[in-house]
Amino acid sequence: MVVLSKPAIELEQLSIANNCSTLFPGVPLVDLSIPDSKTQLVKACEEFGFFKVINHGVPFEYMRDLESEALKFFSLPLPDKQRAGPPNPFGYGNKKIGQSGDVGWLEYLLLNSNTEADFNKFSPFSVCVLKNYVSAVKKMAFEILEMLADGLKIQPRNVFSKLVMDEQSDSVFRVNHYPPCPDLGESNGSRNLIGFGEHTDPQVISVLRSNNTSGFQICLKDGNWISIPPDHSSFFINVGDSLQVMTNGRFKSVRHRVVANSSKSRLSMIYFGGPPLSEKIAPLPSLIKGEDSLYKEFTWFEYKKSAYKSRLADNRLGLFEKI
Ligand code: GA4
């Protein structure tokens, strides 16, 4: 049985109104093996900033093996897990998210996505299992980014993918474990516990794979939250803030969150593809086409520094918008 550290946090602090309990059937689904998938990818990034991919080429065994190692790690006694923490910036974390006071009903591991790197002394996973999974997911992310450039009819086709393909890419790999949440009591039937609070991802692209436990939600353009049906053999892709900027707002960095499940534990693994620290991020001239550039140019270092000081739910791009 998995125990999170004694709640120094009041559960009420994590409770939100349960206003979206039904699973949304309209999530854009892109089959990466069909010729027209680039058009569908562009449409999904414009309308939702989010989509699900199938026929992605990542072997199921890679997901299964890493998931089973992760579950083994999270089932260890708390002091053993804490030896791999705190996450500054890599390692094991429990309930506390970031440095600005955010909390959630989860425990997690943050790792450098360069699986060979020394920083991964915190990784409890076998190098081979981690490497198989992360390399295959990165490859898929590069392909999606190239298809997006094609779909937007911009040159060169590696304009986005080169950022996350670079040896110096500042990418992160995260494994989140959400234990079943405690009973909130009958009077709280209309409340949910927040697993990971609402936010957008600062990077270019995020690739998420979870077990079959629901909890992931995205915010639609009209402000309504929808629950995404889980699917352990597919991947879910998020547009990040940096891609929103490079497309001058044409692609939306999707606001998302996770609510804890009352009976089942959820395990998710997310690759966040980020640019090298020195990379300049700005709207691509070919995508501005006579319109105004909506954002000031910044380096990924500047953005990351500002993002890591913010609260999870903040609108981090606000500081970089042109008035
Ligand atoms: C959100 C996306 C990734 O999980 C992450 C998160 C990071 C963290 O957990 O330390 C942040 C969050 C994320 C954005 C704002 C800051 C930083 C927590 C937080 C309050 C690893 C990332 O890169 O940004």
CA separation for the pair 260, 288 (Å, rounded): 40
Residue 198 Cβ contacting ligand 1 at under 6 Å: no
Which residue do the tokens 């309209």 mark? Answer: 26
How would you classify residue 253: left for phi > 0, otherwise alpha for psi between -120 and 50, otherwise beta? beta
Residue 172 Cβ contacting ligand 1 at under 6 Å: yes
DSSP 314: S
What is the atom index within ligand 1 of the atom nearest the CA of 100? Answer: 20
CA separation for the pair 56, 53 (Å, rounded): 6
Alpha helices in 206-297 (DSSP H): 241-246, 285-288
**What length is written for the chain?**
323
Residue 138 Cβ contacting ligand 1 at under 6 Å: no
Give residue 85's pLDDT.
87
Angle at 10 between CA 5 and CA 16, to 5 degrees: 115
Residue nearest to atom 23 of ligand 1 (CA): 202
* Residues of the chain by 3-state class (helix, strand, coil), percent to 5: 30, 25, 45
Residue 97 Cβ contacting ligand 1 at under 6 Å: yes
CA separation for the pair 199, 175 (Å, rounded): 17
DSSP 312: T
Catalytic residue among 209, 266, 311, 316: 266
Mutating to test ligand 1, I would choose from 194, 308, 310, 319 the residue with most ligand atoms within 8 A of its C-beta, which is 308
- Token pair, residue 44, equals 């999904």
Residue 281 Cβ contacting ligand 1 at under 6 Å: no
Mutating to test ligand 1, I would choose from 94, 95, 97, 216 the residue with most ligand atoms within 8 A of its C-beta, which is 97
CA separation for the pair 97, 88 (Å, rounded): 11
Tell me whether 0.85 is exceeded by the ipTM: yes
Give residue 184's pLDDT.
61
What is the atom index within ligand 1 of the atom nearest the CA of 203? Answer: 23
Phi, psi of 5 (to 5 degrees): -60, 155
Provide the 10 A C-beta neighbour count for residue 10: 9
Q: Between 127-151 and 37-47, two packed helices, what is the crossing angle to 10 degrees?
A: 90
Task: Report CA-CA distances (Å) from 302 to 277, 296, 309.
Answer: 8, 12, 11
CA separation for the pair 301, 200 (Å, rounded): 17
CA separation for the pair 75, 147 (Å, rounded): 39
3-state SS, 35-86, equals CCHHHHHHHHHHHCCEEEEECCCCCHHHHHHHHHHHHHHHCCCHHHHHCCCC
Residue 272 Cβ contacting ligand 1 at under 6 Å: yes
Provide the 10 A C-beta neighbour count for residue 159: 18
What are the DSSP calls for 83-134, one per residue? TT---SSSEEEEEEETTTTEEEEEEEEEEES-TTSGGGGG--S-HHHHHHHH
Strand partners, 110: 91, 174
Per-residue pLDDT for the chain (323 aa), expressed as one digit of tens each? 555 554 556 667 787 777 666 788 899 999 999 999 999 999 999 999 999 999 999 999 999 999 999 999 999 999 999 999 899 999 999 999 999 999 999 999 999 998 777 677 789 999 999 999 999 999 999 999 999 999 999 999 999 999 999 999 999 999 999 999 876 655 555 678 999 999 999 999 999 999 999 999 999 999 999 999 999 999 999 999 999 999 999 999 999 999 998 889 999 999 999 999 999 999 999 999 888 999 999 999 999 999 999 999 999 999 999 97
Task: Compute, in angstroms, the gap from residue 240 CA to the centroid of ligand 1.
Answer: 12
CA separation for the pair 217, 227 (Å, rounded): 4
Residue nearest to atom 14 of ligand 1 (CA): 312
Whether 174 sits among the annotated catalytic residues: the reply is no
Give residue 249's pLDDT.
97
